[in-house]
Structure 1
Amino acid sequence: MTTTESEGVSLGMPQLPPPDYPADVRARLEADARDVIARYPDSRSALLPLLHLVQSEEGYVTRTGMRFCAEQLGLTTAEVTAVATFYTMYRRKPSGDYQVGVCTNTLCAVMGGDAIFEALQEHLGVANGGTTEDGKVTLEHIECNAACDYAPVVMVNWEFFDNQTPASAKRLVDDLRAGARVEPTRGAPLCTFKETARILAGFPDERPGAVEATGGAGPASLIGLRLARGETPPARVVHPRAGGPEGAQPHEPSLGEHLSSHDAPQKTSASDPANPAGPVGGAREEGE
């Protein structure tokens, strides 16, 4: 009796074991699995990349794939299933060649992420997690991917498409479905979800241009670091209210000064002479 069968019987839910991979596919996956497992002192640590490996074969983590991972690592299928169902990066059903994720966390949402997501649902005729009939695009809303300085952000197979609008996002998915060449705004060239899964399993991306890709940090993400290193002139601080008090002039801070009131909190009367106010504690005492 296989592991899957024994677990099913113990749970009172007997079921047929999943079909195995064809012999040639299994041989190839076993060779790749040995490569992955050899990277870790404890074989169990290889479970996450192995799940990416089997996902690269069929586009999602099947029961066959989970049994394969269990056999390679000496785990039960229950242990593998627990991990595969916990992380959203592992798909549990067939999905599109392109996973289109719209960030709807706070900053992207207020900058238009919610509007983009609603527009794409209507444009593609799918709900959250749905796949278009041609099998090209799966749409979902995603959690923050640390690209708030480029909000609103759409990701396709985890590559960045920054500063999107409903119109540009519609063009993006139309191009994906039409097979047109689509370039992320930064990072590596776009590839299919299966190809992405193999890269996430830890195998090198040998496509032209992939090695030269600069990664995910763009100029807006690095400006703070450059300021800290003194690589660019400090920002010009202007009066916080339009025009400011009569005669007020923009102030150019020296390198030793703080660049904003967020860096060096001041009393209101000091930071905004046009609207002086005393400390909150003092106002409370006078009221009393």
Structure 2
Amino acid sequence: MHTSAVLEESALLTQHSFTAEIEAGLLQDCATISPKFLYDALGSHLFAAITFLPEYYPTNTEKSILAQYRNQIAEVVGKDGVLIDLGAGNCLKAASLFDSLKPSTYVAIDFSIEYLNEALNQLKSKHPEIAMHALGMDFSQHLTLPNSIPMQHRTFFYPGSSIGNFSAVEALQLLKKIKSQILDGGLLIGMDLMKPDDVLIDAYDDPLKVTAAFNLNILRSINNHLNSDFDVSQFKHVVTINHQENRVELYLEALDDVRVQWPNNVRTFKKGERIHTENSHKYTIESIKQLLRSAGFESIQIWTDAKKYFAVIYAK
């Protein structure tokens, strides 16, 4: 079979899997959509805009930690290795490490391959000395790197506390997958810490409503996958804090009774009924250590900001 045919078949199988996953979530008693569908091309751009908001502390806080401790981080990570960026987005976080880590190879992995290619093309011209690869992959489901990626001295980079989107069981499974691929390298990961409710609400429901647009766009994203007829104007963005589970929860709430249909199925959302779109779990230093040790990491080094809002961890 020709390579183009193989890729086309793979894409069709992936699309079929996505369609089945979305439909199953929508037909649950409490409807849900996986947060990975937030990151289509438009969603990825909207999230990039969110990171510039003063209320959204994770990006700037993580950035300041990486800058403040760049020499210590470079010392434990090492130089001239393979930097593997999970959920790379616009690749800017990883690019900020290039001067200190001096990777020989950079592998950007993201759900939205179109947005990823756009970002990587700009980065290649600035760093021609680094071999760069873009991989469109749902790494939450499978994480297998192609043979073209060097096996020595791998550093997996997972910033932004994206690990917090997963349940404790899912996070542990993903970290175990990463551990199995690290070989002689390590994991550099950002994890969000618990903090006052008002700080969290401002971060996830900003006054400019950029986060609301980001969340609502998931309906357009799944319209493209499912051929459904969601109308974003019929829903609103809702944020709650679940103290029992130590997480922020994002929902879309029906403003009135809404009937949504797609091929071979239909669902009516009553006024006030919600679709769950994302969790963002928050951690303590001790819970971070417990999670990483359970995944098989033995050596753990942690850096935080002065307010203890966020943590950057290197584990191997």
**TM-score range for the pair, normalised by the shorter chain length:** under 0.3
User: Quick check: which one's strand share is greater?
Assistant: 2
Structure possessing the higher radius of gyration over alpha carbons:
1
Higher relative contact order (CA 8 A, sep 6+): 2
> TM-score when scaled to structure 2?
0.23
> TM-score when scaled to structure 1?
0.25
